[in-house]
Amino acid sequence: MAEHDHDQIFADGSSPKPRPGTDPAEPGPSPKPVREPAPASVAEPQSRREQQASDFVNISPGVSGRIVGLNIVDNQTVKRGDLLATIDPTPFQLALDEKRAKKTEAEAQLAVDRDVIAAAQAQLGDAAAKERLASDNVRPARPITAAGFYSSQGLNTLTAKEQEAKAASADAESSIAKAQQTLTLHQATVATITTEIAYLQ
């Protein structure tokens, strides 16, 4: 077999037609235009839904309650400081009134505590004066009793009064300490209620 197509002869005596472009007498096919490669695809912009989702921010109120007013609509743009909703203030107002009443009561108790302290201090002053007087009576009575110029019964009476005065002084001091502790406790209660009122306001 021949190596070239134009060397072949078919049964009808015809030769194979040269391939387009190989015959100098026959013009070849028109060259195809070369196109520039398409640029890499650019990501499409986010959809409206995706943009809205990226703009959403979860918020929560500092207190819970029933919403009685809504000042925005769906998909509305808001900024810091805008009033979004109103929570029913009735429960908070009731709680505020209750706290104010408790504060008034606690403040009244502070006055009572101060009166108790003042009374105990007065008792202490009186008991201390009686103790000094009783001690002043007992001190000279002891030597004259030992000398036989004063009766033992009289000395015992003076000594008993001195002990009573000392006991009264100790009781008054204890009462003052307890009253001061009670006052401190009630002052802390007033401070706590004041803080709670500030929160509710």
Whether residue 82 is contained in a domain is answered as no
Given a contact cutoff of 8 angstroms between Cβ atoms, the answer to whether 18 and 6 are in contact is yes
Question: Mean pLDDT, the chain, as a whole number?
Answer: 79
Residue 42 counted as domain residue: no
> What is the band of 160 on the pLDDT scale with cuts at 50, 70, 90?
very high
| The amino acid at 111 | A
Flag whether 129 is in a domain.
yes
Q: How many CB atoms lie within 10 A of CB 192?
A: 14
Quick: pLDDT tens for 136-149: 989 998 898 888 88
Token pair, residue 29, equals: 């096919």
Q: Is residue 136 situated within a structural domain?
A: yes
Does residue 76 lie in a domain region?
Answer: no
Q: What is residue 60's predicted lDDT score, i.e. its pLDDT?
A: 80
Query: What single DSSP character describes residue 193?
Result: H
Range of the domain at 162: 94-200
Report pTM: 0.53
Tell whether 164 is covered by a domain: yes
Per-residue pLDDT at 14: 45
- CA dist 12 → 6, 8, 9, 15, 23 (Å): 15, 12, 8, 9, 21
Res 9: pLDDT: 41
How many domains does the chain fold into? 1
